[in-house]
Each structure stands twice: as structure tokens, then as C-alpha cells.
């Protein structure tokens, strides 16, 4: 048997220990590879695989990489702790430290090579499906599969270097330890009774105050909160797991009538021991889960944004022509022709807008004409206005603005033309979105409008509103105008004398980008989830011998099967659901403050999406719990 064979057999024969770790690594390599496939797609830059896609994929890859670095490092330490007895034996048999280090490096490289290779193969197998999903999300006509060496090289290089790094690190650690240290076990079992009451209190206080502050978000300075809250909550979580939980359990232990009751004695003490032993891991799992929930939840809430998009954009297409625009006729007839060619029904409503300063506010104000606005209102199914000379109504710029403007009662003079108007009430419904006119617009009667317009006939704005019932189909309409606007923006040239907006096109881009980011976030969250689960599994597995011996003792003391399962449940449930519950609480409060912050921007409810995300993750976690409990029970009750 050569040295390399020894390393190989060590891994292969310990495969049950490494199984969960291997699974998590393979899955993360696979996801990494899929993202890389999209990053290097030859079609990038064309169609709608836009910059955002590229940025999203790169970010996800970097997050995955960094996370895997931590995950591997932590797992490696746990492996070494679990195998310290074995290392001590090898050293006593006369193995040199250097050789032991080499053994660890070889093992890690073997694991790394197999999981990287399997991950890439799996990734390549699923890339067709992945591309199909992406194509669907981005509404591309085609996203062909391609074969190129870049994604392969990048994934293999990234992960192999990662495993090499971790392998070298473990070799270094192992070469600098004594046999006696190994015998004690690296890290060793922590004292399940040890905690500091001060830190226990600090943990609870920090968490409670963070939650309280999150509830006040929206009323307090948002920036202030976003800087202070995350560190406070993180520190609180750390103290909570390493001190507060033990403190709370100890409070319980002092009450014998509650504590000295059937299997509670064992299960509580066992819970305390396992919590103490794994406090660091639980802390990491809780924080990682919180981040995963939050990112998925936020992305999901952005996806709802698109659902409310239509409400904000009642019109199909909007073309604004500023004074002195030579292209107006050409562009508008072009748009009409394109709509006809595409077979889309539409109604064209031209609007004339004058702009004057209001004596009331000192601000410029947009003035629209009663007849034209009524035509637009009719097209969009809103009620008409009926104005006498001297009267005016506000044109609301958003749904929320309407009730506020409704009660306004303002008398003002339009300064340039000297027309006095009494502005009272609003036009029913949202007709023109805020981007086309800004926030300060009124409608005046025909007579007054003629007066206003005659003052500066060369300075009138023309808005061509197109109502298109099938507004989502307008993706390809007006691309040439869009192009011209993009070009002028890039060249930073003179401002164009026109403005064109195609909500259908914007909608499709926003929608697909958010969905793509959501998919990315979900996959990354899955990797987190799998890694956290694999860690719990591994920890359970390393403690198996001790647990099995303990089970045998308890059986001899006369514990029934049912009581034993109860004990196992009671110690597994906190391991799975305590970090989980904390992460849930964290994200719930974070969502509440997010909701408050969100409201300031877009007035969107993210409640449903959040609930959906949290429920979905809980279901997955439950499944995972039952799977691992099943395996654990089988092992603990099985023969040694």
C-alpha cells in the first residue's frame, strides 16, 4: 500500500462522514458552473442578456466562492477535530508530522478533485435546462447551448485552488501540533455549564433593541438604522447562541419540578451540551439563513414591483415632442406604422401642454387642455371633467397623489399669460404617469387654454399618448427612437428635442431582470441551506459514537423506545430550528423595516412575497429535518 493509496482509502472508507460535505460541495460547484456558463455565453451583449445579467452572475459567483471558502475551512476544522484520535495514533505509530500534513493535503485534493469534476459534469448536464429556464425568464427567442473551455476552466480553477488552499492550511495546522494535543482532541468538548451572565443579558438586550428599532423604521432616520442595526443584531445573535440560550436553560434547570420530569432531564442537558458545542456554527447558520431569506425576499418583492407597474403606467407608448423638434411628424407616423405592422390595436391621443409659472407656488406648472384631457380620459375609461372659464383641476401624477390633491383649493395666477384660475379637485384616475410631465400639472378650460397658448405659441409641448390594450406586446415598437436616445446619452451630446417611453419594453426588461436575479438568489440560498444542513449532519455523525454509547446506557436504565425518540427529537429540533427560528425572526423584523423603507419609494406591499419565501424555506427545512432524523435514529440504534 503506497502513501497515496492510504489517503485514498481513508476517504473512500469514511465516505459516510464525507457524504454530506461532498454533496454540498458538488451542488455549489454545479451552481457556480451554471452561472459561469451564462457569464461566458457568446450571445451576451446581444438581445437582452444585458449588463445586469452579467453583474448578477458575477456577484453570485463571488458570493458562492467566498461562502465556500468559509464552509470548507470550517468543515476542515471539524473533520480534524473528529479525527484527532486517529492522528494521535498515526503519530504514535511513527508517522512524521510532515507526512501527516501531506496525508491531509492529499485527502483534501482527492475530495476537491472528485467534487469539482462531479459538479461540473452535473452542471453541464443540467445547463440545457438551466438555459431553458433563463430563456423563459428573459423572454429570449433563443438561448442556444454552447461548448467553450472558459466556464470549465474557470470553475475547475476556482474550486481546485480553493481545495488546495484549504488542504495546505490543514497540513500546516496539523504539522504544528503535539500528540498530546491530538489526544485531548482539537478544540475538545466545551463545558456545557459555562456562560457569562453579563453576555447572556447583553445578547437578549441587543436582539430586543434591534427588533424594537426595526419596528420604528420609517419614523427614524433610515440611514442611521441601516448602519447600526446589522452589526448590533449580529453581535446579539452571537451572544444569544453562546450565552443567552444556556442562561435560559439554566433558569429552567433550577426548577426541579419542571426539570426532573421523565425524559426532560436528559433532553434538556443534552440540548445545552450540543448548543454549547456548536454555538459558533449555529451563529453562522442563523446569519447566513437571514441573509438568504432577505435576499430572496427582497428579490421576490422586486418581482411584485412589476405587477404594479401597469398601474403606474396606464399608457401603451408615450412620445413627447419639445418645442422645435424637427422629427415629430416622422417619429409619430413611424410609431403608428410600426403598431399597424405588428397588428396591435391603438388609440392615438395628442395633447398640448403649456408651461407657466404659478404665482401661488412660484414653481413652473404644466397646463393641459380640457378637451384633449377628456379624450384621453375617455380612452382610458375615466370620467371627463367639465370646466368653466377660470376653473381648473389637478392632474394627479400617481394614485396616491389623487386623494391628497382632491381637497386642495388654490387660487393662482399664471404669471406669463396673466390668467387667474381657481384650482379645485382632480381628474378622476391616473392619466399620465409622473415621468412624462413631472408632478405639478393642471387642466384648464378651453377658453383659458387658448389664452395661455396664445402667449407663447412657439413654446408648446406636444405629448402623443398611445393607448395600446396589448401593451405588453410593444417590445419591438420604436426601437429606432430608443436607439437614438441611448446614443445621445452615451455621447453626452445636446439634449434631444424629444422623449420616448415604451413601458412594454421597460416592463419586459425589469421583469426578466428581477426574475433572473430571483433565480440566482434562490440557487445561492439553496447552496447555503445545503451547506448548513450538511454541517449539522456532520456534527451529528462525529458525535455518533458517544451518542450510541449513551443510548445503550439509557436503554439499560430502563428508558423506553418512545422516550428515547423524544430525547432525540428534543435535541435535534433545537439544532435545526433554533438557528432557523432566529433567522426567521431576524428576517421578519428586517422585512417590517424594509416594508417601511420601501413605502417611501414605491408604495409596494412585500408582505405576501415575504410570507411565501419564509413558508417555502420552512417546508424545505422540515423535509431536511425528517431526512436527517431518520438517518440519525437508524445509526444511533444500530449496531456499533
CB of 10 to other proteins, least distance (A): 24
Number of residues that bind other proteins (CB under 8 A): 30
Output the smallest distance, CB 200 to other proteins, in A: 19
Residue 193 engages other proteins in binding (rule: CB under 8 A): yes
Residues with Cβ within 8 Å of residue 438, at least 6 apart in sequence: 366, 397
24: exposed, middle or buried (C-beta count within 10 Å: 0-12, 13-18, 19+)? buried
Among 147, 490, 557, 634, binds other proteins (CB under 8 A): 557
The number of beta carbons lying within 10 Å of the beta carbon of residue 78 is 21
How close are the terminal C-alpha atoms of the chain, in Å? 28
Measuring CA to CA, which residue among 462, 466, 476, 472 is closest to residue 338? Answer: 476
State the nearest-atom distance from the C-beta of 266 to other proteins, in Å: 7
Question: Do strands 391-394 and 441-444 pair parallel, antiparallel, or not at all (unpaired)?
Answer: antiparallel
Binder among 13, 15, 219, 556 for other proteins (CB under 8 A): 556
Pick the closer one to other proteins by CB: 129 or 260. Answer: 260
Nearest residue (CB) to other proteins, 294 versus 543: 543
CB of 284 to other proteins, least distance (A): 23
Tell me the closest approach of the beta carbon of residue 549 to other proteins, in angstroms. Answer: 7
In whole angstroms, what is the distance from residue 237 CA to residue 248 CA? 15
Q: How far is the CB of 253 from other proteins (least distance, A)?
A: 9
Nearer to other proteins, 451 or 637 (CB): 637
Under rule CB under 8 A, residue 269 binds other proteins: yes
* E strands, 322-447, in order: 347-357, 364-369, 391-394, 409-414, 419-426, 441-444
Kindly tell me which residue out of 407, 494, 561, 600 binds other proteins, with binding defined by CB under 8 A: 561
What is the three-class DSSP state of 142?
coil
In the complex, minimum distance from the CB of residue 300 to other proteins, in angstroms, rounded to a whole number? 42
Candidate residues 50, 114, 306, 550; the one interacting with other proteins per rule CB under 8 A? 550
Contact 116, 159 (CB under 8 A): yes
CA distance 354 to 441: 10
Residues 604, 305 contacting (CB under 8 angstroms): yes
3-state secondary structure of 463: strand
542: contact with other proteins by CB under 8 A: no
Cβ distance to other proteins smaller for residue 97 or 548: 548
Report whether 580 contacts 199 (CB < 8 A).
Answer: no
Task: Decide if residue 219 touches other proteins (CB under 8 A).
Answer: no
Enumerate residues 270-299 that contact other proteins by CB under 8 A.
Answer: 270, 272-273
Least distance from other proteins to the Cβ atom of residue 145, Å: 51
Question: Which residues, in sequence order, are CB contacts of 636 under 8 Å at separation 6+?
Answer: 544, 547, 548, 551, 568
Q: Out of 16, 404, 555, 599, which residue is the one contacting other proteins (CB under 8 A)?
A: 555
- Name the residue nearer to other proteins (CB basis): 13 or 256: 256
Q: Buried b / exposed e across 148-184, counting CB within 10 Å, b at 16+? A: eeebbebbbebbeebbeebbebbbeebeebeeeebee
- The CA distance from 201 to 247, in Å, is 9
User: Which residue in 25, 263, 301, 513 binds other proteins (CB under 8 A)?
Assistant: 263
Are 335 and 466 in contact, with CB atoms under 8 Å apart? yes
Task: State the binding string over 243-262 for other proteins (x if CB under 8 A, else -).
Answer: -------------xx--xxx
- Binding test (CB under 8 A) with other proteins, winner from 526, 559, 573, 620: 559
Q: How many distinct helices (H) and strands (E) make up the chain?
A: 24, 9
SS3 assignment, position 146: coil
Closer CB to other proteins, 266 or 452, in the complex: 266
Q: In which element (H, E) is residue 164 found?
A: helix 149-175
Tell me the CA distances in angstroms from 69 to 65, 74, 105, 122, one per residue in order: 6, 9, 16, 21
DSSP helix/strand/coil, 105:
helix
Residue with Cβ nearer other proteins (62 or 552): 552
CA distances from 531 to 136, 187, 526, 538 (A): 29, 22, 8, 10
3-state DSSP assignment of residue 6: helix
* Interacting residue with other proteins among 407, 562, 601, 640 (CB under 8 A): 562
Which stretch, 189-197, 233-241, 483-491, 580-588, contacts other proteins (CB under 8 A)?
A: 189-197
Question: Which is nearer to other proteins, 270 or 356 (by Cβ)?
Answer: 270
Give least dist CB 252 to other proteins, A. 13
| DSSP letter assigned to residue 495 | P
348: phi then psi, degrees, rounded to nearest 5: -100, 120
Strand pairing partners for 351?
463
With CB under 8 A as the contact rule, which of the stretches 235-243, 473-481, 548-556, 591-599 interacts with other proteins? 548-556
Residues 109, 265, 453, 484: which binds other proteins (CB under 8 A)?
A: 265
Nearer to other proteins, 222 or 559 (CB): 559
DSSP three-state, residue 498 = strand
Instruction: Name which of 28 and 271 has its Cβ closer to other proteins.
Output: 271
Closer Cβ to other proteins, 15 or 256, answer by number: 256
Between 161 and 560, CB nearer to other proteins: 560
CB of 280 to other proteins, least distance (A): 18
Rank residues 109 and 269 by Cβ distance to other proteins and give the closer one: 269
393 within 8 A of 443, measured Cβ to Cβ: yes
In the set 266, 452, 568, 578, which binds other proteins (CB under 8 A)?
266
Query: Nearest approach, Cβ of 556 to other proteins (angstroms)?
Result: 5
Q: Where do contacts with other proteins occur on this chain (CB under 8 A)? A: 189, 191-193, 256-257, 260-266, 269-270, 272-273, 546, 549-550, 553, 555-563
Amino acid at each position: 500500500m503506497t502513501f497515496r493509496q492510504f489517503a485514498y482509502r481513508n476517504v473512500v472508507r469514511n465516505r459516510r462522514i464525507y457524504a454530506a460535505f461532498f454533496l454540498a460541495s458538488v451542488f455549489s460547484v454545479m451552481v457556480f458552473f451554471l452561472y459561469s456558463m451564462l457569464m461566458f455565453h457568446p450571445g451576451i451583449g446581444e438581445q437582452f442578456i444585458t449588463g445586469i445579467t452579467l453583474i448578477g452572475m458575477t456577484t453570485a459567483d463571488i458570493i458562492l466562492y467566498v461562502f465556500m471558502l468559509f464552509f470548507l475551512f470550517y468543515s476542515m476544522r471539524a473533520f480534524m477535530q473528529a479525527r484527532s484520535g486517529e492522528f494521535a495514533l498515526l503519530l504514535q505509530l511513527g508517522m512524521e508530522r510532515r507526512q501527516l500534513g501531506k496525508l491531509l493535503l492529499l485527502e483534501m485534493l482527492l475530495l476537491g478533485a472528485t467534487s469539482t469534476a462531479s459538479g461540473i459534469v452535473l452542471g453541464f448536464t443540467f445547463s440545457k435546462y438551466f438555459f431553458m429556464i433563463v430563456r423563459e425568464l428573459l423572454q429570449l427567442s433563443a438561448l442556444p447551448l454552447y461548448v467553450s473551455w472558459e466556464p470549465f476552466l474557470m470553475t475547475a480553477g476556482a474550486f481546485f485552488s480553493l481545495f488546495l488552499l484549504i488542504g495546505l492550511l490543514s497540513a500546516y495546522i496539523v504539522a504544528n501540533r503535539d500528540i498530546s494535543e491530538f489526544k485531548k482532541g482539537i478544540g475538545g468538548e466545551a463545558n456545557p455549564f459555562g456562560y457569562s451572565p453579563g453576555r447572556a443579558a447583553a445578547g437578549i438586550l441587543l436582539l430586543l433593541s434591534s427588533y424594537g428599532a426595526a419596528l420604528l423604521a420609517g419614523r427614524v432616520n433610515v440611514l442611521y438604522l441601516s448602519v447600526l442595526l446589522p452589526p448590533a443584531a449580529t453581535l446579539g445573535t452571537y451572544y444569544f447562541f453562546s450565552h443567552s440560550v444556556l442562561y435560559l436553560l439554566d433558569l429552567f434547570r433550577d426548577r426541579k419540578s419542571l426539570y426532573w420530569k421523565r425524559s426532560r432531564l436528559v433532553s434538556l442537558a443534552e440540548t445545552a451540551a450540543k448548543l454549547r458545542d456548536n454555538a459558533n456554527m449555529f451563529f453562522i447558520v442563523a446569519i447566513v439563513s437571514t441573509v438568504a431569506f432577505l435576499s430572496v425576499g427582497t428579490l421576490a418583492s422586486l418581482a411584485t414591483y412589476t405587477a404594479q407597474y401597469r398601474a403606474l403606467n396606464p399608457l401603451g407608448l408615450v412620445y413627447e415632442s419639445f418645442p422645435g423638434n424637427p422629427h415629430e411628424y416622422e417619429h409619430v407616423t413611424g410609431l403608428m406604422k410600426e403598431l399597424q405592422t405588428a397588428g396591435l390595436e391603438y388609440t392615438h391621443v395628442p395633447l398640448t401642454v403649456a408651461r407657466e409659472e404659478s404665482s401661488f407656488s412660484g414653481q413652473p406648472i404644466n397646463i393641459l387642455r380640457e378637451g384633449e384631457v377628456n379624450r384621453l380620459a375617455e380612452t382610458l375609461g375615466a370620467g371627463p371633467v367639465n370646466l368653466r372659464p377660470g376653473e381648473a383641476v389637478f392632474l394627479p401624477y400617481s394614485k396616491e397623489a389623487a386623494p391628497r390633491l382632491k381637497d386642495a383649493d388654490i387660487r393662482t395666477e399664471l404669471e406669463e399669460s396673466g390668467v387667474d384660475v381657481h384650482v379645485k379637485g382632480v381628474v378622476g384616475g391616473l392619466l399620465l404617469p409622473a415621468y412624462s410631465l413631472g408632478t405639478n400639472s393642471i387642466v384648464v378650460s378651453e377658453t383659458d387654454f387658448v389664452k395661455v397658448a396664445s402667449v407663447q405659441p412657439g413654446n408648446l409641448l406636444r405629448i402623443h399618448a398611445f393607448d395600446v390594450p396589448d401593451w405588453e406586446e410593444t417590445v419591438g415598437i420604436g426601437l429606432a427612437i430608443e436607439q437614438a436616445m441611448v446614443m445621445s446619452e452615451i455621447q453626452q451630446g445636446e439634449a434631444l428635442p424629444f422623449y420616448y417611453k415604451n413601458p412594454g419594453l421597460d416592463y419586459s426588461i425589469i421583469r426578466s431582470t428581477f426574475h433572473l436575479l430571483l433565480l440566482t438568489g434562490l440557487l445561492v440560498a439553496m447552496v447555503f441551506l445545503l451547506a448548513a444542513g450538511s454541517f449539522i449532519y456532520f456534527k451529528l455523525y462525529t458525535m455518533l459514537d458517544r451518542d450510541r454509547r449513551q443510548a445503550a446506557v439509557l436503554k439499560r436504565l430502563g428508558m423506553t423506545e418512545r422516550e428515547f425518540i423524544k430525547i432525540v427529537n428534543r435535541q435535534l429540533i433545537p439544532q435545526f430550528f433554533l438557528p432557523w427560528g432566529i433567522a426567521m425572526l431576524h428576517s421578519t423584523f428586517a422585512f417590517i423595516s424594509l416594508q417601511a423603507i420601501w413605502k417611501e419609494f414605491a408604495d409596494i406591499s412585500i408582505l405576501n412575497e415575504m410570507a411565501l419565501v419564509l413558508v417555502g424555506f420552512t417546508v424545505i427545512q422540515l423535509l431536511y429535518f425528517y431526512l436527517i432524523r431518520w438517518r440519525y435514529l437508524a445509526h444511533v440504534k444500530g449496531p456499533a
